[in-house]
Amino acid sequence: MKKGEGKRMPMMIIAVVAAIILIIAVPIVTSLNYQVNSYPYAAELPKPGLGVDITNSSLPMRAFIAWNKFYNNTASAMWKAPQGVVKNELRVTARDGEVIGGYMLEPEGSQGERMATMLYCHGGAFFMPILPSSLELAAHYASELHCRVFMPEYRLTPKYPYPTPVNDCYDTLKYISGLDTVDTGKVIIYGESAGGCLAAETLHMCRDEGLLKPIAAMLIYPVADNGQDYPSLVNYEHATWSREANLNMWELYLKGVDLNAAPYAVPMQQEDYSDYPPVYIEPAEMDTLCDQDIALADRMRKAGVEISGEVIPGAYHGFEGDLQSELVKRVLDVRDGWLNDIVNSVGK
């Protein structure tokens, strides 16, 4: 063997394996993208990205998921807050002694100021880390509401199924409630997708434990029910958040869980919504979760909760990733208006 050939061989093997994965992955991704984009989404929105089935065992999909998690962890760590907003590291000690990471965003120049606060439970199927797109939204709320936004990096499935993620969110809220710079009379709980599930259950836990009384909750296309009987699960089964991915997500999150002994696992299984603050629920029309979100809103409304929010026509799961879209701007204006009205009404 000539000098240098021994070093080149492993690289050649890696290149061949990568090429094989690419050859296999391209048709799969192309086919899935075709299915995802087969619905008549609103023209003002960009086409949605490829959804991820977190339990897909094929080599290309496992490689894609691993890369996606690595990329988003890195991108979120490197993400720079826009002008007027400051990004800070968050460290919270959970009930089991483990340290939860995350981020806190606040208006520039507000350090030390006692102000309204949002607990932001990020989405990602209980499986994905904080995305830069969620940080963009958090920065938007920090600026528009002049509030402090805490976003915990709760622990994720499959290593940490229920109840660890929701406990981490509640423990973060408990930490927040003890800060001098937090006006505990102006606390909002917010969540999107799987984070919507965690936000709803953190609100319920907060009510049961008597920690504090949030003034509002905002649930954006929340994961609300592990049941599989909703029409939208069939009508949009190949959408960016697919029916199969949704089912597999629940299987991972509820692995080994007896729902009769899991009081904070599934929002639609709650029966007592007494002493709830106003809740804003926003389903996306072309989303597998649409009908369960409508059902959750109806269930809370019948229990006496003040419910706001409308189905967003032509929207898909995660549609507000492009903050420059005119549709997204209008939606955010409605959210901001509702939240500002709630915050400004306190004490009047």
Cis peptide before 163 (omega within 30 of 0): yes
Look up residue 57 and give its two tokens.
Answer: 């065992």
DSSP for 312-343, written as a single string: BTT--TTGGG-TTSHHHHHHHHHHHHHHHHHH
Task: Give residues with Cβ within 8 angstroms of 314, minimum separation 6.
Answer: 40, 41, 42, 43, 44, 45, 285, 286, 327
Backbone angles phi, psi at 33, to 5 degrees: -65, -35
* Token output for 82: 């826009």
**Interior angle at CA 304, CA 206 and CA 224, nearest 5:** 60
Residue 69 has pLDDT above 50, yes or no: yes
**Which pair of structure tokens corresponds to residue 254?**
């509820």
Residue 18's pLDDT band (boundaries 50, 70, 90)? very low
Q: Does pLDDT of 208 surpass 60?
A: yes
Q: Which of 29, 48, 30 is nearest to 240 (CA)?
A: 48
Q: Where are the beta strands (DSSP E) in the chain?
A: 85-89, 92-93, 99-107, 115-121, 148-153, 182-192, 216-220, 279-282, 307-308
Amino acid identity of 113? E
Average pLDDT over residues 251-272: 96
How many other C-beta atoms are found inside a 10 Å radius of the C-beta of residue 43? 7
Q: What is the pLDDT of residue 30?
A: 39
- Using CA atoms, how far apart are residues 203 and 190, in angstroms rounded to an integer? 10
pLDDT reported for residue 36 = 79
Q: What would the mean pLDDT of 29-48 be, rounded to a whole number?
A: 75
Report the C-alpha gap between 336 and 26 in whole angstroms: 40
- DSSP bridge partners of 236: none
Closest by CA position to 100, among listed 150, 65, 158: 150
- If 0-12 CB within 10 Å is exposed, 13-18 middle and 19+ buried, where does residue 82 land? middle
Average pLDDT over residues 265-271: 96
Site of tokens 């009930």: 95
Query: Is 200:217 a contact under the CB 8 Å cutoff?
Result: yes
Candidates 96, 140, 94, 99; CA nearest to 118 is 140
Q: What span, in angstroms and rounded, lies between the C-alpha atoms of 305 and 288?
A: 24
Length of the chain equals 348
pLDDT of residue 57: 59
pLDDT digits (tens, 9 = 90+) for 269-312: 999 999 999 999 999 999 999 999 999 999 999 999 999 999 99
Tokens of 3: 């000098």
- Candidates 303, 308, 299; CA nearest to 274 is 303
What is the CATH number assigned to the segment(s) 50-345? 3.40.50.1820
| pLDDT value of residue 71 | 81
Of residues 58 and 252, the one with the higher pLDDT is: 252
As a whole-number percent, the residues of the chain with pLDDT over 70 amount to: 85
C-alpha 341/C-alpha 212 separation (Å) is 20
